[in-house]
Amino acid sequence: MPLQAQTPHLGVVLSCCAKPSHDLGRINYFSTVMESLFDRLRQHGVDTILTACPSCHQMFSSYAAGFTIRSIYEDLRAGGAAIPTKTSENVALHDPCASRFDRLIQKNAREFLKKHGYRVHEPEHCEKKTMCCGEGGAVGFVEQTYRET
């Protein structure tokens, strides 16, 4: 069942949460972006934010006072959304850095796949031991020499 069938008033917002600016110390810019986004959501009567991006989930969970924040994986697991096609019965799931310590997101993503018949292979480096993508929190933009090492 599609998420919109479960939640008829579901909308999509593609705005950036500005986490890179936050992590680079551009707090004034970050605050301006987030407050503008929160104002728009409030104007439309939004009280729950469903996140697909682990970084957005992290930022909204920390800064979106007055909103309920949930990961899309929680709703997908609970609601019976279907996966259109299977390509393999065995899958490995990479946990992004932003959800490294978010056990609920990890659990819901895995349970969603298992519910649809997939066997989830846990790589050596998963959950709180997940491997970094190498971007290092965008530190290369702060110090050029770090990008080269």
Q: Where are the domains of the chain?
A: 3-133
Say how far apart CA 96 and CA 128 lie, in whole Å: 10
Put simply, whether the predicted model's pTM sits higher than 0.75 gets the answer no
Residue 80's pLDDT is 61
Residue 87's pLDDT is 61
Contact 11, 47 (CB under 8 A): no
Contact 118, 37 (CB under 8 A): no
Residue 11's pLDDT is 79
Residue 146's pLDDT is 59
- As averages over each run of 10 residues, the pLDDT of the chain (149 residues) reads 69 85 90 95 93 90 94 78 66 80 86 84 82 63 60
Residue 63's pLDDT is 96
Q: Which of 96-116 are b and which e, b meaning 16 or more Cβ less than 10 Å from the residue's Cβ?
A: ebbbbebeebbebbbbbbeee
Question: For residue 101, which amino acid is it?
Answer: F
Residue 81's pLDDT is 63
